[in-house]
Amino acid sequence: MKHAVVLFDGDCNFCDSSVKFIINHDPAAYFQFASLQSEVGQELTRKHKVPDDVDSLVLIQDGQAYVKSEGALMISHHLTGLWKLAHYLKPFPRALRDGAYDVIAKNRYKVFGKLDSCTLPPPHVRKRFLDK
C-alpha cells in the first residue's frame, strides 16, 4: 500500500491534536508523520519545494506537496466517518479556504499553546512516525 506523509509543527498543541485525530480516523494507516522541525521534515520540504512561509501542515502525496487548506482537504478525503465529506469543500475558492486556514495557523499558539515536550505515541502508532 502506498503511504502519504503529513508534516506538522511539532511544537504546536493544535497540530499534535490534529495528528492524533488523523491517526484515530485512519484505520488503514495510510498516513505517516514527521515534524517540520525534524531532519526528515526538512528534507521533504526541500525536496518538494514547500514555501518557507508554510509552518503548520503539509501533505506529501504521490510525489506532490499540498499545503494549507488543500493539504487539509486532501487528508480529509482519506479519513473515516463524516470527515470524508470535508473533501467536498474543494470547489470553494482557494483564496477563501486559505484565508480561513491562515487565521487558524497564525493564532494556533495563542489559542492552543505550545508543547513543552513531544507526545510519545504507543508502539503500534510509533512506527508511523518517520522522525523517531
Cα 82 to Cα 76: distance, rounded to the nearest angstrom? 9
Look at phi and psi of residue 64 and say left if phi exceeds 0, alpha if psi is from -120 to 50, else beta.
Answer: beta
Segment 58-107, tens digit of pLDDT: 999 999 999 998 999 999 999 998 887 787 788 889 899 888 878 878 87
Q: What's the mean pLDDT in 47-64? A: 90
Domain boundaries, the chain: 4-126
| Higher pLDDT, residue 117 or 42 | 42
pTM of the model: 0.83
Q: Which residues pair with 27 in a beta bridge?
A: none
Amino acid at 108: R
- 3-state SS, residue 6: strand
User: Given the C-alpha cell 512561509, which residue does it identify?
Assistant: 53
Of 122 and 116, more confident: 122
pLDDT over 90 at 40, yes or no: yes
What percent of the chain shows pLDDT beyond 90?
Answer: 42
